[in-house]
């Protein structure tokens, strides 16, 4: 009986010590990648449709590769929604480095024309923007990293002379 009890205690101790090691398998010590909107380029601007190219940078602060499966985004200019959509570009960001990608967007500012004209009357006055999105990362186990960036653009920088 003592032999069985000692074997059970040893087995219980072994299992308890082993579970601590298993917990480290799932510990998430990785830092979230960062997404930065670098530039907004006007491709074509007509009355009913505007095309832009958005330039982004993804920073990977971790020691392992980062697979990016796409970006779901919403861009607000001042108080109105400028564009929303999803980019499904796949790429890999090396450890401790950055990668760049572009997203073409199409929008119709007709419904906001009065507000846009009012903002453009003062081309040197900054206009606030807000970028919200989820960066889709990972291969087998996807991880959506939520991002929010705020900034300002100066309309005069986009108006040709």
The pLDDT value recorded for residue 26 is 53
The pLDDT value recorded for residue 136 is 92
Separation CA 161–CA 123 (nearest Å): 12
Token digits for 110?
Answer: 């007709």
The pLDDT value recorded for residue 159 is 62
| 96-128 confidence digits (pLDDT tens) | 999 999 999 988 878 887 887 887 788 888 889
Q: Which residue has the tokens 């998430």?
A: 28
Separation CA 148–CA 55 (nearest Å): 16
CA distances from 13 to 6, 23, 54, 116, 141 (A): 11, 16, 57, 70, 32
The pLDDT value recorded for residue 160 is 59
Domains of the chain: 31-157 (2.60.40.10)
Which stretches in the chain have pLDDT values below 70? 1, 11, 13, 16-28, 158-161
Q: The whole model's pTM is what?
A: 0.69
The pLDDT value recorded for residue 90 is 92
The pLDDT value recorded for residue 68 is 94
CA distances from 91 to 37, 58, 59, 81, 144 (A): 17, 10, 13, 28, 15
Q: Which residue has the tokens 């990362």?
A: 137
């Amino acid at each position: 009986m003592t032999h069985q009890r000692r074997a059970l205690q040893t087995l219980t101790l072994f299992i308890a010590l082993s579970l601590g090691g298993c917990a480290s398998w799932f510990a998430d010590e990785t830092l979230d990648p960062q997404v930065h909107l670098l530039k907004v380029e006007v491709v074509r601007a007509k009355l009913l449709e505007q095309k832009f190219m958005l330039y982004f940078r993804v920073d990977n602060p971790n020691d392992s590769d980062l697979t990016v499966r796409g970006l779901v985004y919403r861009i607000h200019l001042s108080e109105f929604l400028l564009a929303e959509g999803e980019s499904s570009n796949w790429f890999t960001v090396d450890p401790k480095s950055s990668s760049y990608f572009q997203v073409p967007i199409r929008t119709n500012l007709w419904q906001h024309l009065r507000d846009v004209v009012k903002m453009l009357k003062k081309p040197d006055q900054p206009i606030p923007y807000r970028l919200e999105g989820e960066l889709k990362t990972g291969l087998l186990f996807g991880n959506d990293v939520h991002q929010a960036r705020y900034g300002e653009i100066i309309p005069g920088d986009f108006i040709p002379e």
